[in-house]
Structure 1
């Protein structure tokens, strides 16, 4: 079993570019019904995770920011309180499992730190549950 066996590829994952606006981020989260999404830079490198809470705190702590002007704030300007650590596609399975214990998803990068997808904790639990019950 390898990390790639659990990979949910980038083309099937909702993620956002760090230069996108706060409005776009909120719409992305709402549309996909996610509470957090990976953030990548313009070179497609993983730079962090943006959560609903991050958006909430940005609105609360920014005077004059409202739903009418969310397009004036870029994602890279929003302080992120959680950093979902990424794992290399070539890492040991144990490395990914340690991260998945504390994260709903584990971002996966290639050797150049390019974001290639995620591993969902749900998929790991389902795999190991079926292994135990079979």
Structure 2
């Protein structure tokens, strides 16, 4: 089975541009109750995933940085501690499963590395669960 079967397109998910501010990320993540969101550059290419932990480490390790002045920090200045590696749209389900063990979602890119959406771990687990239940029947 192909990744496209599970794809949630970019238009239906929350993502941020790498030139967004730390404050914008914090507010958007809080609003949607997300702990991580994909980052893209101005060309729409996937450049990584920003997590709550990344933002907290930046806040902790930057002298004088408070919530009020997080609007001065661009996400491109925030170190990403976890690398959510993307897959291409033509990847197979097996390519997703190993990543889903350590990632809540797997970013999906086209052959030019342009971000086109994500596959959530939840859908993969539901799919595997259905397969297991069918085998029992």
**TM-score w.r.t. structure 1 length?**
0.96
Shift in Å, 1:92 = 2.8
1:104 pairs with 2:104: yes
Which has the larger displacement, 5-14 or 92-101?
92-101
Deviations 1:78-117 (A, max 9, x none): 0110010000001233212222222111000000000000
Alignment of 1:1-134 (within 5 A): 1-134=1-134
Runs of 4+ more than 3 Å apart: none
Shift in Å, 1:131 = 2.0
Number of residue equivalences: 134
Shift in Å, 1:74 = 0.1
Shift in Å, 1:67 = 1.1
Task: Point out where structure 1 has 5 or more consecutive residues left out of the alignment.
Answer: none
Whole-angstrom CA distance in 1 between matches of 2:120 and 2:32: 15
User: Over aligned residue pairs, what C-alpha RMSD do you find?
Assistant: 0.9
SS at match of 2:71: helix
Task: Point out where structure 2 has 5 or more consecutive residues left out of the alignment.
Answer: none
**TM-score w.r.t. structure 2 length?**
0.94
Whole-angstrom CA distance in 1 between matches of 2:61 and 2:98: 34
SS at match of 2:102: coil
Whole-angstrom CA distance in 2 between matches of 1:5 and 1:92: 10
